[in-house]
Structure 1
Amino acid sequence: MEDSGLTPHILVDCSCSGVSVPEMFIQQGKIVLNIATQASSNLVISNESISFKARFDGKPQEVFVPCEAVLTIYAAENGEGMFFDNDNIPTTEEEKKPIFTVLP
């Protein structure tokens, strides 16, 4: 998005386990975060999480968002992006284990 001159934002479900965001900005259990280079520092995006440092009301804060908590990533300028269906993501260690079937 940034390569195209757009500002990436993520919509986060704050009810998911492991989410660490400034609580005063949560609305209806969700928060929109600007993850653009100029709005964040130390941005790390992995298969498991998104983390960065940013200022909220002038105060620096560390943000941590597990990937399963990301509902949407979109461009602020036009609203285009990707919407994720997180209903089928395993939530417990037992559910995350692979399921094998022995065939005769």
Structure 2
Amino acid sequence: MTVYVIALLCVVGLAIGQILFKVSAAEITASGSIFSPKAAIALLAAMCIYGVTSVVWVWILQKVELGRVYPLMALAFILVPIGSHFVFGERFQAQYFIGVALIMIGIIVAVRA
């Protein structure tokens, strides 16, 4: 069970990394320079998070079959847009929430299989 909690933390880390990649991209666009300190910090933070989560993911795969734990990665399709709503003010249509519900059902079915 602990491995699954750590796997969920990896997914959260990857979602945070994606938000930081977008922060970096937005800052590069706003400043007009790839050398913007804010962009560089966000990019470096995202890369560090991705590095740590990749190493932890390898550890997880030593403990659990890939087919059992990989469906949890689909949670990123839910977490990243939620984060983008709060950080960037992005909006979603009703179809998005239907898709999220279908993803959640799929994750539940896959993990319990």
Give the structure-2-normalised TM-score: 0.27
Structure with a larger share of its residues in strand: 1
- Structure of higher RCO (CA pairs closer than 8 Å, 6+ residues apart): 2
Give the structure-1-normalised TM-score: 0.29
Structure with a larger share of its residues in helix: 2
